[in-house]
Amino acid sequence: MNTVDLIIWIAGLAIGASFIYILWSYAKGLKACPREIWILFASKVIEYAAYGAMNVTFALFLSSDVGMSDIGAGSYIGAWSITLTVVMILVGAVVDAIGIKRTLLLGCSTLLIGRLFMPFFTNIYAVTLLGFVPLAAGTAIMGPVLSVGIKRYTTKESSALGFGLFYTLMNVGWATGAWIFDKVRTIMGEHGHTNFLGFEISTYQTIFLVTLFLTIPNFIIFLFMRNGVELTEEGKVEIKPIIFDKAHGDNFIKVLLGVTKKAAKDTLEIFRGVIKEKSFWYFILMMLVIVFVRLIFYHFHYTFPKYGIRVLGEGIKIGSLYGMLNPIIIIFLVPFMSALTKKVSSYKMMTIGTILSAFSVFIALMPAESMQWLMGTWVEELVFDRWLELAPELRNPYFFVLIFFIIIFTIGEAIWSPRLMQFMTEVAPKGKEGSYVSLSYLPYFAAKFVAGPMSGWLVATYTPEGAESYPNHYMVWLWIGGMAIITPLGLLFLKKVFTKNISEQ
């Protein structure tokens, strides 16, 4: 057994044992919860695997199969992401009106429609109407209700464990989605085609087809849920029947339309209520400052796949570089960081974490030659032979630059990301936590108007399709990093302003 085999075995056993222990620890504290919570956990893994695989494929599909330009595809994804956010805000009240089970079945049915048509159409109008629109609606419906379900199926004492396991399994789903993305591309080739039921579908459409097959079992397991289930603070499972609100009508569709309309009205009322508060505007200013580092995630999902395929080579496991490495590290690092820093203020942790995440982007500016010393070592064998399975002609020390960048970014994320939600609830006035958390997405919502076209412009300008080489590819990261550092610099320079006008509890 050589060095690499020994490392793989030791690391594999350690990771496997640690993961089993994490799951067992969570499960032990949730044993009193109803079966519905385990159905939600299973659906979380399945849905995030499907969504993760589709998410990194969208921009590639729009350019390769639909025929859109890089800028056009980036702008389209930006508009779609904005639509998803709007729908998510509006449908938040739906679950209260029709119950968790009905809401999940509604969302899953909508996703089934989108994923049924995406593999078989390339016309932009058909893809939009039958694919992207149902996907936006289904994703928006499924997102909030999963969180609501965790809250209703746990007690105040066990809710932290419920959300902890929820976050862990979400990352398992993301990693699985990245693996699906790479596996299909490895089998079929970057621009391959296959015949399915008489339809000739591309590699990217095949990825969509796989997500359809993942969504079907999700729909089936939702049928085994009971509507109206709640866990009392005493640990007793109760079933409260959901009765349609007669103010909105006496059938499912009328209720759905009624509560959505009411949600839009309530959102406006919330905004009118807090808009008069000085502290709210400082809170929004802070969320605006944090947006710049959060946009790195956006570029990892939509800019990085095209960038990686063009700069590093077609067929490489670009999904594994971020889509698997990042969530795997997060799964094990977040519980450790949370326990280690639980007495440190959220503001300080957010500042430290965003410094790491933002400045890590500049690691990608390092020349490939800076990592040449790793070539010919056991590290090269571990990364290129065992993990990425790269052909000799595709081996490039720049892979190590990107891996180093992603690892440092993820360490920073593990420090600041969990603390962001905690901070938002800490600074919100008592009784207005929900309003502040909901409206905290407004800056991110606005930023997507720029992020979408920017994503397309970056790859079109510095890694144009068909070019023989990309000597200025590092400029992609210079732009992204230049924007990302606004966050830690803003948190440092505006600390007195924020701490004076937004008091932590």
The predicted pLDDT at position 504 comes to 45
Cα separation, 462 vs 459, whole angstroms: 5
Q: Is the per-residue pLDDT at 434 higher than 80?
A: no
Q: Based on the fold, state whether residues 229 and 354 are members of the same structural domain.
A: no
Cα separation, 83 vs 278, whole angstroms: 29
**Cβ atoms of 141 and 107 closer than 8 Å:** yes
User: Residue 26 falls within a domain, yes or no?
Assistant: no
Q: Based on the fold, state whether residues 316 and 171 are members of the same structural domain.
A: no
Residue found by looking up tokens 């999700």 in the block: 218
160-200 pLDDT tens trace: 778 778 888 888 999 999 999 999 999 999 999 999 988 89
Structure tokens at 144: 């909030």
Q: Based on the fold, state whether residues 234 and 329 are members of the same structural domain.
A: no
Q: Based on the fold, state whether residues 219 and 288 are members of the same structural domain.
A: no
Cα separation, 207 vs 188, whole angstroms: 10
User: Residue 151 falls within a domain, yes or no?
Assistant: yes
Q: Is the per-residue pLDDT at 257 higher than 60?
A: yes
Residue found by looking up tokens 């710049």 in the block: 292
Cα separation, 231 vs 317, whole angstroms: 43
Query: What is the DSSP annotation of 24-67?
Result: HHHHHHTTTS-HHHHHHHHHHHHHHHHHHHHHTTHHHHHHHTS-
Q: Based on the fold, state whether residues 310 and 447 are members of the same structural domain.
A: yes
Q: Based on the fold, state whether residues 158 and 204 are members of the same structural domain.
A: yes
The predicted pLDDT at position 175 comes to 93
pLDDT band at residue 235 using 50, 70 and 90 as cut-offs: low
Q: Based on the fold, state whether residues 364 and 464 are members of the same structural domain.
A: yes
Burial class (CB in 10 A: 0-12, 13-18, 19+), 146: buried
Residue found by looking up tokens 């595709």 in the block: 394
The predicted pLDDT at position 347 comes to 84
User: Residue 4 falls within a domain, yes or no?
Assistant: no
User: Residue 473 falls within a domain, yes or no?
Assistant: yes
Q: Please count the other Cβ atoms lying within 10 Å of the Cβ belonging to residue 70.
A: 23
Boundaries of domain holding 40: 32-242
Q: Based on the fold, state whether residues 409 and 463 are members of the same structural domain.
A: yes
Q: Is the per-residue pLDDT at 248 higher than 60?
A: no
The one-letter amino acid code at 479 reads W
Q: Based on the fold, state whether residues 191 and 304 are members of the same structural domain.
A: no
Q: Is the per-residue pLDDT at 219 higher than 80?
A: yes
Mean pLDDT of 85-90: 74
Q: Based on the fold, state whether residues 128 and 223 are members of the same structural domain.
A: yes
Among residues 196, 224, 242, the one where a domain terminates is: 242
User: Residue 472 falls within a domain, yes or no?
Assistant: yes
384-422 pLDDT tens trace: 988 988 888 889 999 999 999 999 999 999 888 877 766
The percent of residues above 70 in pLDDT, for the chain, comes to 84
Cα separation, 255 vs 263, whole angstroms: 12
- Residue of 500 and 139 predicted with greater confidence: 139
User: Residue 265 falls within a domain, yes or no?
Assistant: no
User: Residue 250 falls within a domain, yes or no?
Assistant: no
E strand or H helix that includes residue 196: strand 193-196
* Lowest-confidence pick of 235-249, 267-281, 323-337: 235-249
- Residue of 75 and 274 predicted with greater confidence: 75
DSSP 397: T
Work out how many domains the chain is built from and give that number: 2
pLDDT band at residue 247 using 50, 70 and 90 as cut-offs: very low
Among residues 242, 262, 294, the one where a domain terminates is: 242
Assign residue 411 the CATH number of its domain.
1.20.1250.20
The predicted pLDDT at position 225 comes to 86
Query: pTM of the prediction?
Result: 0.86
Among residues 189, 222, 242, the one where a domain terminates is: 242
Q: Is the per-residue pLDDT at 505 higher than 50?
A: no
Q: Based on the fold, state whether residues 80 and 203 are members of the same structural domain.
A: yes
The predicted pLDDT at position 157 comes to 72
Query: What rounded mean pLDDT belongs to the chain?
Result: 84
DSSP 341: T
User: Residue 335 falls within a domain, yes or no?
Assistant: yes
Mean pLDDT of 344-364: 92
Q: Based on the fold, state whether residues 284 and 230 are members of the same structural domain.
A: no
Q: Is the per-residue pLDDT at 436 higher than 80?
A: no
Q: Is the per-residue pLDDT at 72 higher than 70?
A: yes
pLDDT band at residue 435 using 50, 70 and 90 as cut-offs: low
